[in-house]
Chains A and B, each alone.
Chain A
């Protein structure tokens, strides 16, 4: 199994500012994903973080709003830019195991935008 840590675990931010969330995995993984979970809702995939290339975004999510970096096989960052209260959510990092039969999740970052 993969052990995933995220920083920060939670934050309260003012609208108009940006927050970068870090995801660290204890082993090299091929696929890393970023999810958003709005209050009371299920998980929604934001993007797939690709190592060495641009992230692949899902419909409704754009790079300008959610830039993602993936400098190596164990680390990724997600930035929530120009935040508004609607961005208040839990943001989760996830990776697939080897073989890719399971998916593992980080503890999440709880973001509140005021």
Chain B
């Protein structure tokens, strides 16, 4: 069961901010929002996660709406190496040991 919806693909100019949206309108109160990415032929890589507050790390920022029904992953200065499939996943903090369920994700192409 897909708990998130994302656009199939997006383009972004190199050096610009990439804003990747995700809808999770049925999210529960104890479910976190996670973002992973998968660069071609590699295993998925963790980017960031959050519950309610906006989060920032060295890779990206995560903006979660107040009602938590949607979020946006922001890559502030996209580079060609950020070209990848980006997955938005919701997962309960109670589900210890449960695997992450991956949807189709958004294919981001960073263009020179």
Write the residues of chain A forming the contact surface with B, with a CB cutoff of 8 angstroms.
4, 30-31, 33, 42-45, 48, 90, 92, 94, 96, 99-108, 110
Contacts and interface: CB of A to CB of B under 8 A. Distances in A.
B6 to A, nearest CB: 11
Interface residues of B, dominant DSSP: loop
Given A43-B102, A102-B49, 20 more contacts: A4-B43, A42-B103, A42-B104, A43-B44, A45-B99, A48-B99, A90-B41, A94-B99, A94-B100, A96-B96, A96-B97, A100-B96, A100-B97, A101-B32, A101-B93, A103-B99, A105-B43, A105-B44, A105-B45, A108-B41
B41 A42 contact: no
Contact of B100 (A90, A103, A107, A110): A103
Contacts of A48: 97, 99
Interface residues of B, number: 20
A5 B96 CA distance: 23
Contacts of A101: 32, 49, 93
Contacts of A103: 46, 99-100
Interface of B: 32, 34, 41-46, 49, 87, 93, 96-97, 99-105
Nearest to A43: B102
A94 B41 CA distance: 15
Contacts of B104: 42
A110 B103 CA distance: 20
A89 to B, nearest CB: 12
Contacts of A105: 43-45
Nearest to B85: A42
Nearest to B32: A101
B89 to A, nearest CB: 9
Contact of B43 (A42, A99, A108): A108
Q: Which of B45, B46, B93, B101 has the most CB of A within 10 A?
A: B46
